[in-house]
Amino acid sequence: MKSREGGSLTSISLTRRDFLKLSAAASLLLADFQKLQKAAAEALKQGSVNLIWFESQDCAGNTISMIEGSAPDLIQILVGENPAIGPGKVRVVFHETIMPEWGEAAIEYLHKAEAGELDPYVLVLEGSFPDEDAAAKTGGWWFVLGEENGRPVTGNEWVRRLLKRAVAVVAVGSCACYGGIVASQVLDKTGYSADGWSPTGAFGFFDDPLRGIKGVVSRWPEAKPFLNFIQGKGKLEVSPTGEARPAVAIPGCPANGNAILRVLGHLILAVDGLLPLPELDEYWRPVYIFGRTTHEQCPRAGFYAAGDFRDNPGDNDFKCLFQVGCKGPVSNCPWNRVGWIDGIGGPTRTGGVCIGCTMPGFPDRFEPFYKPLQAPAMPDTATLAGITAGAAAVGLAAGYIMSEPARKGGKKEEGEGGD
C-alpha cells in the first residue's frame, strides 16, 4: 500500500492479518452506525408530536447550543430514548442543519406540514424576521427558501404558512424572541429610534416593549391565535384550530442548550396532554428558568454585599463585576449559577459581565457593556406606559440609581445591584 507524504509516495507495510483486523473494526463501526440509523428511523415512524425548526436571520448559535445540550441530549430526542418524553413521542421532521434530506426533498416536509400531513407539530423559530415588504419595493428579497412555479418563496411566507397549523410556537434565542442584535437601533438626541440602522428592518416573534419594536404577533394575522394566548383572550387549546395557542420565549445570545431541550420536552408533553403548560413571565419566558435575576444567583454576590467591586474588566480577581458593567440586577438568567455545559462556564462565574442578552431591549438598552448602567438603559415615558408589568421598569430604574456611585468611584453596600 502506498500513501503520499510531503509530495512523494511512501510505502506502508500492511500484513494480511492487520488488514483483516481493520476490516473487522470498520464493519463493527458501520454496524453501529446502521443501528443508530434504524433506531432513528423507527422513532420517526412512531413519533406522535413533530418538531419543525425553522431558521430565519440567524447565526445558527442556538442550533449549536441545542447540539451541546446534555439533559436530555439531541441524540436521545432523535432516537426516542429521552426518559422524560418517552420513546417515540417526538420526531424532528425539519431542521436544515441536522436533517438528512436537502433541497426539494427537505422543502417537501414544509409542504406536508402546510397540508396538515404532519399534525400535530410544534414550530421552533430561530433568528429574526426581515422586512420583506421593504425589500420588495426594490424588486428584491432578504431571505428565500425554494421556489414555486419559478416564483421565489421567502422565509417569512413559509413561517406565515406554518403558523396556521402549528399547535405551539417556541422562539429560541434573542433574535427570534425580540429581534436581538439584528434589530439594533441608533441612538440620537431623542433616544433610541425604531428607524435604526438594521438594514433588514428586523423584528422578533414577540413585541420588544423596551425598543418599541412590534413582533410577528402584532404584524401577521396568521399569528393571531398566539397573540390571543399572550393577551389571555379566547379559549386556550393545543390544536391546529385553537383560537388561543401557546407561544414561549427562550431568549439568550445564544440560548442555553439545556433550556431549549427542556422547554421543548415540556411543550411536547403538554401537546400530548401529559403536563400543564409552563408558567410564563411578562416576557413570555418560563418562570422555572428565568424567574430570578442574574444578580440573585451570582456566585460573586458576597463581594457585592461587602462592597468589594472589580476596578477593571480584566482584573484577575473574583470581586463583584457591577462597577465594570455587569447588567445582572436587571437581567434574568441562571447560567452563571448552573453553568453553560454540564456545569462548566457561565458569564459572571468565569469573569465576564452579564450583558442582558436574555432580555427584550438587548443589545441597545444594555450598552456600553463594560460601563455601569447608563441613563439610556431606561425606557422612555411612552414605552413605560405600554409595559403591563412594572417590575422591569422598576428594576431598570434601580439599576441606574445604583450605578451612580459606581460611576463616581463610590461603593454601595445595600440594594439590588451587582452582577
Please tell me whether residue 115 adopts helix, strand or coil conformation.
coil
- Does some domain include residue 153? yes
- Does some domain include residue 55? yes
Lowest-pLDDT range, 93-97, 170-174, 359-363, 405-409? 405-409
- Does some domain include residue 412? no
Per-residue pLDDT tens over the stretch 53-106: 999 999 999 999 988 887 667 766 665 565 555 555 677 899 988 888 889 999
- Residue 69 sits in the same domain as residue 92: yes
Is the pLDDT assigned to residue 336 strictly greater than 70? yes
CA angle 80, 340, 261 (to 5 degrees): 25
- Does some domain include residue 105? yes
Q: What is the pLDDT of residue 21?
A: 59
The more confident residue out of 181 and 393 is 181
Give the C-alpha separation, 371 to 327, whole Å.
Answer: 9
Please tell me whether residue 54 adopts helix, strand or coil conformation.
strand
- Does some domain include residue 25? no
Give the C-alpha separation, 361 to 211, whole Å.
Answer: 5
- Does some domain include residue 66? yes
Q: Could you tell me if 379 and 387 are in contact, meaning their C-beta atoms sit under 8 angstroms apart? A: yes
- Residue 255 sits in the same domain as residue 333: no
- Residue 206 sits in the same domain as residue 327: no
- Residue 157 sits in the same domain as residue 281: yes
Q: Could you tell me if 61 and 68 are in contact, meaning their C-beta atoms sit under 8 angstroms apart? A: no
Give the C-alpha separation, 208 to 191, whole Å.
Answer: 16
- Does some domain include residue 239? yes
DSSP string computed for 351-404: TPPP--TTSTTTTGGG-STTS---GGGSPPHHHHHT-S-THHHHHHHHHHHHHH
For residue 246, the domain's CATH number is 3.40.50.700
DSSP string computed for 143-175: -EEEEETTEEEEHHHHHHHHHTT-SEEEEESHH
Per-residue pLDDT tens over the stretch 315-333: 999 999 999 999 999 999 9
Q: Which one-letter amino acid corresponds to residue 320?
A: C
Picking from 257, 289, 321, the residue at the C-terminal end of a domain is 289
**Total number of domains in the chain:** 2
- Residue 243 sits in the same domain as residue 108: yes
Q: Which one-letter amino acid corresponds to residue 194?
A: A
- Residue 48 sits in the same domain as residue 163: yes
- Residue 192 sits in the same domain as residue 69: yes
- Residue 198 sits in the same domain as residue 308: no
Per-residue pLDDT tens over the stretch 347-359: 888 899 999 999 9
In the block, cell 452563571 appears at 336
Q: Is the previous residue joined to 209 through a cis bond, with omega within 30 degrees of 0?
A: no
Give the domain extent around 314.
292-407
- Does some domain include residue 267? yes
Give the C-alpha separation, 333 to 346, whole Å.
Answer: 10
- Residue 63 sits in the same domain as residue 204: yes
Q: Which one-letter amino acid corresponds to residue 260?
A: I
- Residue 308 sits in the same domain as residue 398: yes
